[in-house]
Amino acid sequence: MWCSQQLMRFLPERIYTRALIIIIAPIVVLQGVVAFVFMERHWQAVTRRLSEATARDVAAIVALYKGYKTYNYNDSLVSLSRDKLNLQLRIEQGASLPSVQPKPFFSLLDETLSNEIRLRVKDTPFWIDTVGDSDFVEIKIKLESSVLSFIAKRSQTYASNSHIFLIWMVVTSMVLLAVAILFLRNQITPILRLAEAADAFGKGRSFPDDFRPRGAREMRQAAEAFIEMRDRITQHVDQRTTMLAGVSHDLRTFLTRFKLELALLDEKPIIKALEQDIQEMQSMLEEYLSFANGSGGEKIVLTPLRELIREVCKKQQVHGIQIEFIQSSQQHKIIVPLKPNAFKRALVNLINNAKGFSSRVVIRLSEASEWVTIDIEDNGPGIPREERENVFHPFYRLDCSRNQNLGNSGLGLAIARDVVRSHGGDIKLETSSMSGLRAVIRIPL
């Protein structure tokens, strides 16, 4: 379990990259194993044959030299080696073999050539150098009074085809990678389009115009199921909105009748109390309907957020609320896809919640990366940390009472969060810099 968790940390996050690794890695490993098993055997066989031929040529020259000791014939041996055997021969009188050098750890040529020379020249001492000049191999044979030094091309003794193997591996891997990329791109695109459509639907935005089921059968089934789900949700929301509109109309009609009937009666303390109750009832009814209706059928439009906040602040200041609006930057307009009326309602609810318990409200607007943040702070008593999530629940109030005289239905924050979340954002409550409450709104651009 621990090993798998550690391995997951190094895996790429995107399914596109993971799928490429799943396809390419086994093929490359298989190619490497097959090439090593078969090509290495081929190289060993060819190298052994070439080394054997070179060793025979060297042994023949050594035998000729032992049989004829004259210097004139030595020149003939040098010419014979050069012209007929393609070996550069140098006869060093009175010389000795160089000191033994460390052998290469992995060298098929050194081992094979040493064995063949040892087999051909019997007990005669010899010295070879296969790691010096990369294009040549040097062989020294020690005789009684001289040393025969041979220089042969490496290609005469060794089947050096490693570059062909590497080129073959790289080319085939690139071809496989290109085919895999072209294939996977067509398979991944429907997934990305479905994710974009789901994200847009979750934020209350319209689908991409070119969205339709495509790709493999499973992907088409997922897209069709998503479209059916969207249609069912849309139908449910439309039916609920229509029903709520009818209920709202009927209840407002009755409240209007009550107001007219009370207006015809003489002014008495009980009449004023009834009028106040009707006013509170109408206000609470509007909040209930707003919460149940959510953002309704309002369309999303590109809205300059700074101007929208200024408009809300201006209207609230008319009611005697002191609001300070602070902006991090005014260099460019912040345009956000919003349902303007619904978003205004959320801001008003948060401002009303702040001004009901404080004497000063500060709104800050900032932009970072792909998100916009709106902070609404006050200098009131704040909300205990353990209660900050509970106050977003419908009908929840900190005093745990349902006293209707308070004129508070307990839906203001619930409505605000519902509206913000319908735009793909969220609201959190924190402690403000004024020791009060800070409501933090984050919505995507």
Shared domain for 260 and 324, answered yes or no, is: no
Position 401 scores a pLDDT of: 37
Question: 196: helix, coil or strand?
Answer: helix
Q: Give the model confidence (pLDDT) of 87-131 as tens digits.
A: 888 888 878 888 777 666 556 667 778 888 888 887 788 888 876
User: Would 198 be classed as within a structural domain?
Assistant: no
Position 121 scores a pLDDT of: 82
Position 403 scores a pLDDT of: 39
| pLDDT: which is higher, 299 or 429 | 429
Across residues 154-180, what is the average pLDDT?
A: 72
Q: How many domains does the chain have?
A: 3
Q: Say what percent of the chain tops pLDDT 90.
A: 1
CATH of the domain at 317: 3.30.565.10
Residue 417 pLDDT > 70: yes
Position 322 scores a pLDDT of: 74
Shared domain for 137 and 264, answered yes or no, is: no
Q: Which domain holds residue 272?
A: 212-293
Of 261, 277, 293, the last residue of a domain is: 293
Q: Give the model confidence (pLDDT) of 208-259 as tens digits.
A: 667 788 877 888 888 888 888 888 877 777 777 677 667 777 777 777 777 7
Tokens 């059916």 belong to which residue? 228
Position 290 scores a pLDDT of: 63
Of 259, 293, 327, the last residue of a domain is: 293
User: Would 1 be classed as within a structural domain?
Assistant: no
Shared domain for 253 and 306, answered yes or no, is: no
Of 127, 147, 162, the last residue of a domain is: 162
CATH of the domain at 136: 3.30.450
Position 288 scores a pLDDT of: 63
User: Would 174 be classed as within a structural domain?
Assistant: no
Position 405 scores a pLDDT of: 42
Shared domain for 340 and 275, answered yes or no, is: no
Lowest average pLDDT, out of 71-75, 100-104, 416-420, goes to 71-75
Position 217 scores a pLDDT of: 81
Residue 400 binned pLDDT confidence (cut-offs 50, 70, 90)? very low
Q: Does pTM surpass 0.75?
A: no
Position 402 scores a pLDDT of: 34
| pLDDT: which is higher, 267 or 426 | 426
The alpha carbon of 334 is separated from its chain's Cα centroid by a whole number of angstroms, namely: 27
Average pLDDT, the chain: 76
Residue 165 pLDDT > 70: no
Position 327 scores a pLDDT of: 77
Q: Are strands 126-129 and 361-368 parallel, antiparallel or unpaired?
A: unpaired
Residue 16 pLDDT > 60: yes
| pLDDT: which is higher, 290 or 316 | 316
